[in-house]
Amino acid sequence: MSTSTASGGGGQPGARNDGYEPDPHRWRALWVTLVAGFMSLLDVTIVAVALPTVQRELHASPAQVQWVVSGYALSFALALVTAGRLGDALDRRRIFLLALSGFVLFSAACGAAPSITLLVVARLAQGLAAGFMAPQNSALIQQMFRGAERGRAFGFFGATVGVSSAVGPLAGGAILALASGPQGWRWIFYVNVPIGILAVLLGRRLLPRTKRSGRGHVDVPGILLLGLGVLALMYPLVQADSGGLRGLWWLFPVGAGLLAAFVWWQRRLVARDTQPLLDPRLFTTVRGYAVGAGVGTLYFIGFSGVWLVFALFYQHGLGFSPLRSGLAVTPFALGSACAAVISGRLVDRFGRLLTVCGLSGVILGLGGTAVLLRLAPLDTAPWIAAPVLFVGGLGSGCVVSPNITMTLRDVPVRMAGAAGGALQTGQRLGAAVGTAALPGLFYVVLGRGHDYRGALVTALSAALVGMAASLALATHDWLHDRRARSSRGACPDEVAHSPVHARHS
């Protein structure tokens, strides 16, 4: 691909003159980052199926064992934006490799933990390492690829994000089935070690170095304001099972105030011509970024919570084993993987329409699954619902991957890490809301009449509300783009490279 066409709908403003030269190792390097990203995101959900065994073997309380999951998610989210900015300013390759090495080390520490306290501490450290690694993935894609290749690369990245969350219960169940015995749960963590070591070795050989920019300034007040704001919003959610929403509700307005102060501080730094932690102009002048971040956050509220709800229904309601429960939702993961790879190649042609169709497919698939699981005979309902769940997966593959592509493709490479970190922070916040609210709603309905089907339908209906909000935002953006193209009388590429679009180059 020549540099004269490098921006072709998928580059950042000014990409035609940025001196881009394709890295000959870029596709092999991409697979290194995807494997590492898959491990870090898989660890959000894979541990859930092993919690009963962990609680029994380590003599832990329900509140303690819940921190094995929620502590990881919390430290993961806290690190994202800061890690992305440090990658932009210093060296994405170095930070990625250090974070990946830490992830491997702390995975081994989790597997070897002799007590619940040490396991929780190791999980917090593991989540922090994953949070430092995650934004480098999307930033390295923007650095290594341009044009249609970038869409394909983000297609693989989107498949990784979507599938890793969906297959967590299946992978956890399979590991527990293979590693039988009271200590079998430790292999859920140990499995990361050989894969991670291989990824580190290959990454040292294949990943490109980053040109440094802005390394002389670290926005410490911004780091503190953002970190404390995200912590205040997420802490009541990760403590939801222990009454956090009732006892810690006051942290929500505190978090909102801290984030408002963070925005004010970032704008002040921009006015002073000083490099901020997260440039506010990403949301105001980079086309598609604000909408994409909103679509992703709303979608992950429903997307992340439904897997816990399905696990509760199948394992507690129908008596499935963890492996069989994971197999029951595998059609969604398969559909998501297939569609994500294909949709990455179609996003330049169809744009936001692809996510509109994808969100409609997810709503249809999950809504149809809820109806079938409510009405069909219990002994056959999961298998009758499998084709409909596959349709939902196809829709999901047309949401995550294209949305990531459209959100990040016009971000300048020098800001790619911070932008990717902010996008994933929104997704983690959405996931925290979903994983707290949907199982909580499931238990509320279950407590009123011990009706597992009714609890499932209610929780899935709540998930569909979040997805419907995401669909409304995506539809509004798609219609706005259509009106803009009609009024300009221009093709999509001409609109994409208009002066308004390139304002932030």
Q: Residue 389 has what pLDDT?
A: 92
Q: Residue 62 has what pLDDT?
A: 74
pLDDT tens digits, residue range 117-171?
999 999 999 999 999 998 888 888 888 888 778 878 887 887 787 677 667 777 8
Q: Residue 16 has what pLDDT?
A: 43
Sign of CA dihedral 253, 259, 262, 264: negative
Contact between residue 167 and residue 337 where contact means Cβ atoms under 8 Å apart: no
The pair of three-digit structure tokens given for residue 349, joined into one six-digit string:
């042609």
Pick 245 or 17 by higher pLDDT.
245
Is a pLDDT exceeding 50 seen at residue 498? no
Pick 475 or 416 by higher pLDDT.
475
CA distance linking residue 137 with residue 143, whole number of Å:
10
pLDDT tens digits, residue range 27-79?
999 999 999 989 988 887 788 777 778 888 898 887 788 788 878 888 888 88
List the end-to-end C-alpha distance of the chain, in Å, as a whole number.
21
User: Which residue is associated with the tokens 């619902």?
Assistant: 385
Cα 140 from chain centroid? 16
Q: Residue 390 has what pLDDT?
A: 94
- Determine which of 236-240, 305-309, 403-407, 479-483 has the lowest per-residue pLDDT on average: 236-240
Overall average pLDDT of the 346-351 stretch = 83
Contact between residue 8 and residue 500 where contact means Cβ atoms under 8 Å apart: no
Most confident of 181-195, 238-252, 323-337: 181-195
User: Which residue is associated with the tokens 């000083």?
Assistant: 274
Cα 491 from chain centroid? 32
pLDDT tens digits, residue range 395-428?
988 998 888 888 887 888 777 878 888 888 888 8
Share of residues in the chain with pLDDT > 70 (%): 89
Under the banding of pLDDT at 50, 70 and 90, the label for residue 19 is low
> What 3-state class would DSSP assign to 233?
helix
Is a pLDDT exceeding 90 seen at residue 276? no
Under the banding of pLDDT at 50, 70 and 90, the label for residue 212 is low
Residue ranges with strand state E in 182-322 = none
Under the banding of pLDDT at 50, 70 and 90, the label for residue 333 is confident
Q: Residue 6 has what pLDDT?
A: 34
Q: Residue 190 has what pLDDT?
A: 93
Q: Residue 350 is which amino acid?
A: F
Q: Residue 430 has what pLDDT?
A: 83
* Cβ neighbour number for residue 266 with a 10 Å cutoff: 23
Overall average pLDDT of the 340-346 stretch = 80
Q: Residue 355 has what pLDDT?
A: 92
Share of residues in the chain with pLDDT > 90 (%): 26
Q: Residue 216 has what pLDDT?
A: 52
Q: How many helices (H) and strands (E) are present in the chain, helices listed first? A: 22, 0
Q: Residue 178 has what pLDDT?
A: 84
Under the banding of pLDDT at 50, 70 and 90, the label for residue 217 is low
Is a pLDDT exceeding 70 seen at residue 315? yes
Pick 70 or 97 by higher pLDDT.
97
- The size of the chain, in residues, is 505
Overall average pLDDT of the 171-187 stretch = 82
Please give the biggest Cα pair distance in the chain: 68
Distances (CA, A) of 340 to 21, 151, 334, 475: 27, 11, 10, 20
